[in-house]
């Protein structure tokens, strides 16, 4: 009996969770004055069609190069500035989506990460992206726009949370004591194929392979809860109270594993190694294995 009560409560939590939102749910909020929709595609695709009042956003506004080697998240002041320029207020509700092109879903999860790191809380990703929106409203032209949106400056104030992003030294000190999951495809994790921009083959010692793509179907819709939980709870032997470190090639892929764990499954202590393998795999002293 206790098992079924626990399962029911867990299901209720996920159903109430707004980390991912469906097109129908979003359509019911289009007239909400606090809604801010961010479109992660490029300007050319954005101009061909997007969700009404969506604001086109560049991932480059949230990241910067370090020594032309790897990228890191911009400072809280820079994040605050770009958020305000996008019309985001402290009480806004932000929904992110892409046009189902390479990396656009990951841009959504990274921008979500950047906002959450700076204490913005009310945020969702559109499940299935723009393709799912088009499929849902293909017979309703009012649900599409080709106009560039206009909006007022926002008043969002960033408050940096130091407990999410970690550096190379932190990761080194946690090897063997904290679970680490890698978001790259398994051939890079195994070292059978070289990852672009990474000299050394293999992965961080004791890490587990958890390609972000196996959490989504081909249409970029999130897989069902049972399968998702099996990946993290059963395959990786994680629990909600675990500290977990996510990493990938250079931050984007890891941001989706981080988002799924922290925002959807509501793990309490999920960290992200932003420089990831573009730093770790290009150092000779960092422990790696195949």
Q: What mean pLDDT value characterizes the chain?
A: 94
pLDDT at position 286, please?
98
Residue range 181-193, pLDDT digits in tens? 999 999 999 999 9
User: What is the gyration radius of the CA atoms in the chain, in angstroms?
Assistant: 19
Residue 2 has pLDDT above 70, yes or no: no
95 DSSP β-pair partners: 37, 124
- The DSSP symbol for 69 reads T
E strand intervals along 32-146: 35-39, 55-56, 63-66, 70-73, 93-97, 123-126
C-beta of residue 21 within 8 angstroms of C-beta of residue 94: no
pLDDT at position 73, please?
98
State the Cα–Cα distance between residues 142 and 197, nearest whole angstrom.
44
Residue 151 has pLDDT above 50, yes or no: yes
Residue range 178-223, pLDDT digits in tens? 999 999 999 999 999 999 999 999 999 999 999 999 999 999 999 9
* Dihedral pair phi/psi, residue 64, rounded to 5°: -145, 155
pLDDT at position 1, please?
43
State the Cα–Cα distance between residues 93 and 131, nearest whole angstrom.
22
Taken in order of first residue, the domains within the chain and their CATH numbers are 2-143 (3.40.250.10), 165-289 (3.40.250.10)
Predicted TM-score (pTM) of this structure = 0.93
Q: Which two tokens stand for residue 239?
A: 């629990």
- The DSSP symbol for 145 reads B
Q: Which two tokens stand for residue 204?
A: 């961080």
Burial 263-283 (b: 16+ CB within 10 A, else e): bbbebeebbbbbbbbbbbbee
More confident residue, 9 or 172: 172
State the Cα–Cα distance between residues 183 and 212, nearest whole angstrom.
5
C-beta of residue 97 within 8 angstroms of C-beta of residue 47: no
> Cα dist. 122→20, 36, 256, 285, 286 in Å?
11, 10, 17, 40, 37
């Amino acid at each position: 009996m206790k098992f079924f009560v626990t399962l029911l409560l867990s299901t209720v939590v996920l159903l109430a969770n707004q980390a991912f939102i469906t097109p129908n749910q979003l359509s019911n909020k289009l007239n909400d004055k606090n809604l801010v929709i961010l479109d992660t595609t490029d300007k050319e695709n954005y101009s061909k069609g997007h969700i009404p009042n969506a604001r086109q956003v560049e991932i480059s506004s949230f990241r910067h190069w370090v020594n032309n080697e790897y990228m890191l998240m911009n400072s809280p002041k820079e994040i605050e500035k770009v958020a305000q320029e996008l019309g985001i207020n402290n009480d806004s509700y932000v929904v992110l989506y892409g046009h189902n092109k390479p990396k656009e879903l990951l841009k959504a999860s990274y921008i979500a990460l950047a906002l959450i790191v700076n204490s913005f809380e009310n945020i969702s990703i559109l499940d299935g992206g723009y393709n799912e929106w088009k499929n849902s409203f293909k017979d309703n032209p009012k649900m599409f726009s080709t106009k560039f949106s206009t909006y007022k400056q926002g008043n969002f104030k960033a408050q940096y949370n130091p407990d999410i992003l970690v550096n190379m030294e932190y990761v080194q000190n946690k090897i063997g004591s904290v679970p680490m999951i890698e978001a790259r495809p398994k051939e890079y994790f195994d070292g059978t194929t070289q990852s672009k921009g990474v000299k050394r083959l293999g992965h961080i010692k004791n890490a587990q392979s958890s390609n972000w793509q196996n959490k989504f179907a081909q249409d970029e819709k999130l897989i069902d809860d049972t399968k998702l939980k099996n990946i993290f709870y059963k395959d990786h032997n994680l629990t909600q109270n675990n500290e977990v470190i996510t990493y990938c090639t250079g931050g984007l892929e890891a941001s989706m594993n981080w988002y799924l764990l922290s925002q959807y499954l509501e793990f309490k202590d999920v960290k992200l190694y932003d420089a990831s393998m573009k730093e770790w795999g290009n150092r000779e002293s960092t422990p790696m294995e195949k």
